[in-house]
Structure 1
Amino acid sequence: MNRILVVGVTGAGKSTLARALGGRLGLRYHEMDALYFNGPGWAVNGNLAEDVSRLTAEGGWVIDSLGYPEVRDLLWDRADSVVWLDYPKRVVMPRVLRRSLRRSVTRESLFGGNRETWRGWLSREHPAWWAWSQHGPRRREIERRVHDPRFAPLKTLRFTRPEDTAAWLASV
């Protein structure tokens, strides 16, 4: 495991696991949302494909995302391992709600200096709405990819319970 993609639905804990895994393995961790949103007003990085191509050309890395459509295939082609956090809605929704509530209350600075706002909760793009509506489609996309013969060389670890993920991480 040297080029690791940590995937799952919104709120599964991809960033937390990827950061910890990178630290344990001595690999560079790249946060996909920070690469994607690079300025105020949730500005999108116009050089995302080039940036991700450069980062994934490195010898070792951990990235926390299924991948935005512009770079999804590139990530899956260059990874040697996939860690799939395949948690049910009953696990991810409380996490997303707590995280978004904390971010809204504390006005925590996020990617590109952006912040979650109370008004944002009304948007379909808000993490809570996104996690709810995209849970099934994201799971199906990951399932399709892990069974796609093109990605057969990838070592895939699939966890359906956070305690199993924690036990595995402790063993790394």
Structure 2
Amino acid sequence: MNRKIIITGTTCTGKTTLGKKLAKVYSIKQVDLDDFHFLPNWVEKEDKVFVDDVRKELKTLDKWIVTGSYQTLLKDTVWQEASLIIWLDYPLNLILRRYFIRTYRRVFLKEKCCGENYESLTRTFSKESLFFWIFKTYWHRKRRMHNWKENLFSHKKWIVLTKPIEERRLKELL
């Protein structure tokens, strides 16, 4: 089977975590988009450089699991190549709960994220806060994914999960 999988969803849905689990089960390399997007000190790569870097990495692989969003940046490249899209369409209250747990681990337990970066209290309460980002993007991304599933990428295989417990069924669906 041609396994080129995208795991997408809004911030804090668990895309990377699920990707790591599936990568291990199926012996497929996981490519986390945040690791490609962020340079040290939270510097973001230019869009073209980011897309080119991701494409170069994927060209070296016969099968892959790409985790992350960056949907509009990658819709003409990675999304075209994908054979399966797993959309984590989780409710906002779950995402917010995960945000607070993740922020605690990253800020107070110094868990590394997004390449070589660390979150801080200052960043947590700044205009770049993930908390604000969630509210800014949640409904827009939901509408986009519904549209892409029904129209732009209707020819692709989709698995839409609405609760984390449904992740257990993925082995049956893949």
* TM above 0.5: yes
Amino acid at match of 2:17: T
Amino acid at match of 2:77: L
Aligned to 1:64: 67
Amino acid at match of 1:140: R
Aligned to 2:16: 15
What value does the CA root-mean-square deviation take over the aligned residues? 1.8
Higher mean alpha-carbon deviation, 115-124 vs 83-92, is at 115-124
- Name the CA distance, whole Å, in 2 between partners of 1:44 and 1:68: 16
- Name the CA distance, whole Å, in 2 between partners of 1:113 and 1:66: 19
Amino acid at match of 1:11: C
Q: Please give the residue correspondences for 1:26-41 in structure 2 after superposition, counting only pairs within 5 Å.
A: 26-39=27-40, 41=41
- Name the CA distance, whole Å, in 2 between partners of 1:14 and 1:5: 9
| TM-score normalised by length of structure 1 | 0.89
SS of the counterpart of 1:5? strand
Equivalent of 2:50, from 48, 51, 57? 48
Amino acid at match of 2:31: H
- Name the CA distance, whole Å, in 2 between partners of 1:94 and 1:115: 20
SS of the counterpart of 2:39? strand
Gaps of 5+ in 1: none
Deviation at 1:68, TM superposition (A): 5.3
Aligned to 2:136: 133
- What's the CA shift string for 1:127-158, capped at 9, x where partnerless? 2221233111111111111122x423311000
Amino acid at match of 1:24: V
Deviation at 1:100, TM superposition (A): 0.7
Count of residues paired in the alignment: 169
Amino acid at match of 1:108: E
Deviation at 1:112, TM superposition (A): 3.8
Identity among equivalent positions (%) equals 24
Deviation at 1:169, TM superposition (A): 3.4
- Name the CA distance, whole Å, in 2 between partners of 1:48 and 1:154: 24
Aligned to 1:161: 163
SS of the counterpart of 1:34? helix
- Name the CA distance, whole Å, in 2 between partners of 1:108 and 1:121: 14
Deviation at 1:72, TM superposition (A): 3.5
- Name the CA distance, whole Å, in 2 between partners of 1:86 and 1:132: 15
- Name the CA distance, whole Å, in 2 between partners of 1:110 and 1:163: 25
Aligned to 2:120: 117
Gaps of 5+ in 2: none
